[in-house]
Structure 1
Amino acid sequence: MMKENDRFKETIQTEEELRAIIGIPSDLVKNKVLTYLDHHCAAFISKSPFLVISTADEFGFCDVSPRGDEAGFVRVLNEKQLVIPERPGNKRVDSMRNILSNPSAGLLFFIPGMEETLRVNGKATLVTDDELLESMSHKGKKPLLGIGVEVEECFVHCAKAFLRSGLWKPDSWLDKSHLPSAAAMLFDHAKLPQSNVDSIQKRLEESYTKRLY
């Protein structure tokens, strides 16, 4: 049986070792980082319908979670602050529990069809300001709360990962019949009594059609 410390036999232990392999970033890469949201960043966020937020608890246990809505759902308040409305989800609240113990958060904004992304890092807090949340209502539903982020750095991330993956190229996508079944995965993982793949699929469809907001 493989021991825990046998999984990776040769590892990097220092930044010097890492730099010897990867090299040094160019002046463009080093100089592109801002400590605030300029008009370019604000415009990017206004056109983004989807982001992922990374957080970690006080012990360093990490989580990455998606957030999405119509383009512009994230509100840029000023050059240092933005707010993400919290819509109904699965109630695990992983990101929010982490923020309560460790405010550091990273955001990655996507615009469909655009290979470059926008990275924003900063300190997050849970916002319950009623007037602000009311202004972020959608389809008559006010968000349950908001995730406010105090921006510490932001920068454009290059397109290489998207170009290599072909993510936005429909001709590279799998036929839907070959996609993994979320219902089958949940059935095997959760092992709920008196359930089957069909019943779980119905639960998912009901959630997706009736509890988005």
Structure 2
Amino acid sequence: MFQHVITDEKELREMTGEPSELVNNKVIHHVDENARQFIRQSPFLLLATSDSEGNADVSPRGDEKGFVHILNENYLIIPERPGNKRVDSMRNLLSNPHAGLIFFIPGVEETLRVNGRSCIIADKDLLEKMAHKGKVPSLGIAVEVQECFIHCAKAFKRSGLWKPDTWLPTEERPSAAKMLAEHARLPDLDEAAVTERLKESYTKRLY
């Protein structure tokens, strides 16, 4: 299908060049006060994991800003809120503990990246610190920070993600209910039925 596939780093570097001294030196190996401030202001992150065979998955995690608990300069804890019960990320972590996080702050075009080793915890005393409206998460993902660094804003500038004037009008946006109905192909579960199911889930089972 493809006529020119890059297969080694030497060829890759010939086309991309080398990173600057600033980029080479921006990585720290713990959560300093600057990173703490970013994480405390972040209501959303992406969690990347892969299984023992390298099959990758990226999953969103979101809550009120500061929902990720900073245990100390070496460990973060992500509360596991109710979802669709696929638990893709956690199943991956059982066989491969490596994980990558990207933290977002609405309106801020730079992001914070954290890479490290993770495990699934059920420590009640720690999870109680992440309770919301009296509901304590039953599980959490603890991340041992190995790399922590700011990622530049170019992707956000190119995409205009935080600029409302670039957002699609409501009538032009993809319908998640339509996609789910057509992908699942279950009897008696059309777009309208899925819409009602999603509405119930979003209003009654967030925590």
* Structure 1 segments unaligned to the other structure (5+ residues): 1-6
Question: Deviation of residue 140 (structure 1)?
Answer: 1.1
Taking only aligned residues, the RMSD between alpha carbons, in angstroms, comes to 0.5
Structure 1 partner of 2:59: 65
Find the counterpart in structure 2 of residue 135 from structure 1. 129
Measure how far apart 1:144 and its partner are. 2.1
Residue 39 of structure 2 is aligned with which of 39, 45, 49? 45
> TM-score, normalization: structure 2?
0.99
Residue by residue, what CA displacement relative to the aligned partner does 1:125-165 show, whole Å, maximum 9, x if unpaired?
A: 00100111111100111012000000000100000000000
Letter of the 1:113 counterpart:
G
What is the correspondence of 1:5-16 to structure 2 with a 5 Å cutoff? 7-16=1-10
**Cα separation, 1, equivalents of 2:39 and 2:74:** 13
Once the two structures are TM-superposed, the CA of residue 90 in structure 1 deviates from its matched residue by 0.4
Provide, for residues 57-103 of structure 1, a one-character-per-residue CA deviation record: whole Å limited to 9, x for no partner. Answer: 00000000000000000011111100000000000000000000000
- SS of equivalent residue, structure 1 residue 17: helix
Moved over 3 A (4+): none
Residue 76 of structure 1 pairs with residue 63 of structure 2: no
Q: Is there any run of 5+ residues in structure 2 with no aligned partner, and where?
A: none
Which residue, out of 87, 90, 100, partners 2:84? 90
Residue 195 (structure 1) shift: 1.4
Identity, % of aligned positions: 62
Partner of 1:54: 48
The total of aligned residue pairs comes to 207
Indicate if the aligned counterparts of 1:105 and 1:122 stay in contact, CA closer than 8 A. yes
Q: Does 1:113 align with 2:107?
A: yes
Give per-residue Cα distances to partners, 1:95-131, cap 9 Å, x unaligned. Answer: 0000000000000000000000000000010010011
Q: Distance in 2 between matches of 1:95 and 1:43?
A: 26
SS for the counterpart of 1:24 is coil
- 1:175 correspondence with 2:169: yes
Q: Give the AA of the match of 1:16.
A: K
Compute the TM-score of the two structures, normalised by the length of structure 1. Answer: 0.96
